Amino acid sequence: MDIKAMPVASPDLTHEQQAFREAARDFAQSEIAPFAAHWDAESEFPREAIRKAGELGFCGLYTDERAGGTGLTRLDAAIVFEELAAVDPSTAAFISIHNMATWMLTSHATSAVRDHWGPKLASGQSLASYCLTEPGAGSDAGSLKTRAMKDGDHYVLSGSKAFISGAGATDMLVVMARTGEDGPRGISAFAVPADAQGIGYGRNEEKLGWHSQPTRSVSFDGVRVSADHLLGREGDGFKIAMKGLDGGRLNIAACSLGAAQGALDAARRYMGERRQFGKKLAEFQALQFKLADMATDLVAARQMVHTAARKLDAGSHDATIWCAMAKRFATDAGFAICNDALQIHGGYGYIREYPVERLLRDCRVHQILEGTNEIMRVIVARHLLNTEEELR
């Protein structure tokens, strides 16, 4: 039985959402799957494939239609990201980060900036990176040091960012910089053209996974940005960043679901083909139980991600908590499922002839980015200890 066809996996998706899923699956199989191993091996950024994804609306999934986006829900987006990640978590994750940055820009930019950049970004003709993390400010994002000083009708940016996905290959940077006091309240957000004078890019980091997207440091040396490129108002940056990360965490969680689904499918196929001790691996009860546990954990993680997405779509007051729980649970479960799939493959799982080692490498970082899973636990624990509300 195909686990994707099991009724328990998606009993409450609408016909439209099932159509989104099929469209994303078809695109992934035709435009990504045949090339994913090559992109990984050569560290090649698949800009043309991403542009084609944009033609289907996948680069502006939850960006407002008035800004050039598709205007879908966060649940719709999670469904699409999962299907893309089932064949290539690295490329899917970049598309998800681009979606987050595009939404942040189009939701908070001036009308002139939104009208100029929104359609380009939502269509995939232009791409965006999200610049929050710094060398000395990872999990403690509120202590970032990059500064933006007002100078007439411009801001002048100075500082540096680290581990920026897509940096050097994108066209727009959504940058968090300090315009005021220390702490979160002094942070503002800016839309900065990636080719602005004074911006420098470091080397492409050599990483465990995510080879199809570059990861670089970004430096700002007296970069002048027009004041109308401020997103929201001065001091709104941290709030904008956190709102963006609620959706970003769901996106990465969905990419972990996809990696896990791809690994589960590979393990099931392998168990039906590989023979040991005179019988197929699928006939060994120990492996049957492992496969059953993998499928159960995947379905549980999927339901949590979909519940959190519905909370975010509804504007629920506890959506942030649900997004944190879903991100923690799904990324941990996704990595564990990929690891179990590799174990089922034995030595073959460790070589690049089979896809499970790439899925494992690509989804490992999901437990770190968009807020580490330890920070997700902090968010949930604070809620539980500081409120009488029940999570229902």
Q: Which residues are catalytic?
A: 370
Q: Kindly state the tokens that stand for 357.
A: 């080692």
Residues whose CB is less than 8 angstroms from the CB of residue 120 and which lie 6 or more positions away in sequence, other chains included = 68, 126, 171
Q: What is the DSSP string of 321-347?
A: HHHHHHHHHHHHHHHHHHHHHHHHHGG
Beta bridge partners of 149: 156
Centre a 10 Å sphere on the Cβ of residue 213 and count the other Cβ atoms it contains: 27
Phi, psi of 156 (to 5 degrees): -115, 115
Residues whose CB is less than 8 angstroms from the CB of residue 374 and which lie 6 or more positions away in sequence, other chains included = 139
Question: How far is the C-alpha of 3 from the C-alpha of 213, rounded, in Å?
Answer: 29
Residues whose CB is less than 8 angstroms from the CB of residue 102 and which lie 6 or more positions away in sequence, other chains included = 59, 60, 63, 69, 118, 121, 122, 128
Centre a 10 Å sphere on the Cβ of residue 125 and count the other Cβ atoms it contains: 14
Question: How far is the C-alpha of 179 from the C-alpha of 232, rounded, in Å?
Answer: 13
Q: Cα 17 to the chain's mean position, in Å? A: 20
Q: Would you call 9 helix, strand, or coil by DSSP?
A: helix
